[in-house]
Amino acid sequence: MSIEIANESGVGVDEGSIVSAARFALDRMGVSPLAELSVLLVELDVMADLHERWMDLPGPTDVMAFPMDELDSARRPDAAGLGPALLGDIVLCPAFAKDQAKKAGHGLLDELHLLTVHGVLHLLGYDHAEPAEEREMFTLQNRILADFRNARDEAERAAHQRSTDDKVLGAVGLDEKNEEA
């Protein structure tokens, strides 16, 4: 799965972690590993311009998703071998998200993970215009985020355990350097 990320926001964030959240959500949703996604982080004024131009709403927002509408129409159903599919673009505004994170009582990166998953779901056709749609999308979003956090926490615990094990093995002379000799 190809996920391109560009940070033009002026806010330093862990871009790799945002890519991981997007990849996790796409995997959870069963999206083909050949899919391509673009994530762009922008400044407030750029997001305000996009928000007004595409949604006809004033001021900046936290996330916008731009799906590739021609994804299926350009491909014949009987075409041999499906090539990579461009899902679309997710645009995030960290400066806007920072205030939301503070109000929600969590860090900016957690907010950006939430917005990334939200954007992925929009690209896949989910919406929250109607109450039933909102329940479905937000339930799915919360489940994916909880699973992502659990997987991330487990990977961190495993890495810490490996590091501790390596130190112990090194102290007793059983590390990899001594095994090669």
The length of the chain, given as a count of residues: 181
**Which distant-in-sequence residues (6+ apart) come within 8 Å of 175 by Cβ?**
166, 169
128 is in an annotated binding site: yes
Q: Give the C-alpha separation, 154 to 64, whole Å.
A: 30
User: Distance between CA 107 and CA 109 in Å, rounded?
Assistant: 6
Is residue 106 a known part of a binding site? no
Give backbone dihedrals phi and psi of 89, rounded to 5 degrees, phi first.
-120, 140
Q: Express the helix, strand and coil content of the chain in percent, nearest 5 each.
A: 55, 15, 30
Q: Looking at the DSSP assignment, which residues form a beta bridge with residue 91?
A: 40, 64
Task: Put residue 82 in one of left, alpha, beta given phi > 0 → left and psi -120 to 50 → alpha.
Answer: beta
- The answer to whether 160 is a known ligand-binding residue is no
Binding residues: 118, 122, 128
Known binding-site positions for Zn(2+): 118, 122, 128
